[in-house]
Structure 1
Amino acid sequence: MFRRTFWFTAGAAAGVWATTKVNRKLKQLTPESLAAQAADKAIETGHKLKDFALDVRDNMVQREAELGGALGLEAPVDPDLPVQRHYAVEAAEPAAHPNTYRKLPYNSNNRNEDH
């Protein structure tokens, strides 16, 4: 009799545990819950990216200061010398008219042409 009671109680407890587990999983898989989880992950990822960008910017400023000191770019400038400007991109020749576009040569292999 004791064995039957033990196994009946063990089976009932396993059933309650399994039912609770399944119900929790079903609640996690509802559209509202999935949307909330995705939003939380997106916010968390945004914070991580922001922290990474701030770390990169701080290290970049530090490294630029190190390189500037090593290359003597931060040395005092002699006021008698003319200032030379360094451009990252060379200026292109201005077009004859701002709305004029240069025609490209005809290419028979162009698949985007109208037929």
Structure 2
Amino acid sequence: MFRRTFWFTAGAAAGVWATTKVNRKLKQLTPESLAAQAANKAIETGHRLKDFALDIRDGMVEREAELGEALGLRNDPDAELAPPRRFAVIESHSSYKNDMKTQYNRNEDH
């Protein structure tokens, strides 16, 4: 008698447990639940991307400071800037234009 009661109770408990599991899984698979899960994943992904972008920005600032230190650049905003350089290419460009006017343009024939 005790043996039958034990197995009946064990079977009933297993049935309740299985029914509960199946009902939970069915609730997770409803369209509303799937939409909520997708929204939560999208928000989580957005936070991860934001954290990644902030890490990248911090790394860029750190690297810029390292390069500035290595190159001997100052971060003083009140420091006077050096005058802009003039390159020889700019000065000789006008003579190049004058030479081009006198040359033959082979596209004029057509």
Q: How many residues align?
A: 84
Once residues 50 and 75 of structure 1 are traced to their aligned partners in structure 2, the CA distance between those partners, rounded to angstroms, is 28
* Distance of aligned partners of 1:50 and 1:75 in 2 relative to their CA distance in 1, 3 Å threshold: closer
Once residues 75 and 45 of structure 1 are traced to their aligned partners in structure 2, the CA distance between those partners, rounded to angstroms, is 36
Q: Shift in Å at residue 50 of structure 1?
A: 0.2
Q: Shift in Å at residue 83 of structure 1?
A: 1.6
AA aligned opposite 1:20? T
In our comparison, the structure showing a higher alpha carbon Rg is 2
Q: TM-score, normalised by structure 2?
A: 0.68
* Distance of aligned partners of 1:32 and 1:84 in 2 relative to their CA distance in 1, 3 Å threshold: farther
Q: Structure 2: any 5+ residue segments left out of the alignment?
A: 87-110
Q: Shift in Å at residue 3 of structure 1?
A: 0.7
Larger helix proportion, structure 1 or 2? 2
Name the % identity: 82
Q: TM-score, normalised by structure 1?
A: 0.66
Matches within 5 A, 1:66-77: 66-74=66-74
- The alignment's C-alpha RMSD in Å is 2.2
SS at match of 1:22: helix
Q: Structure 1: any 5+ residue segments left out of the alignment?
A: 86-115
Once residues 33 and 85 of structure 2 are traced to their aligned partners in structure 1, the CA distance between those partners, rounded to angstroms, is 61
Q: Shift in Å at residue 75 of structure 1?
A: 7.7
Matches within 5 A, 1:1-115: 1-74=1-74, 82-84=83-85
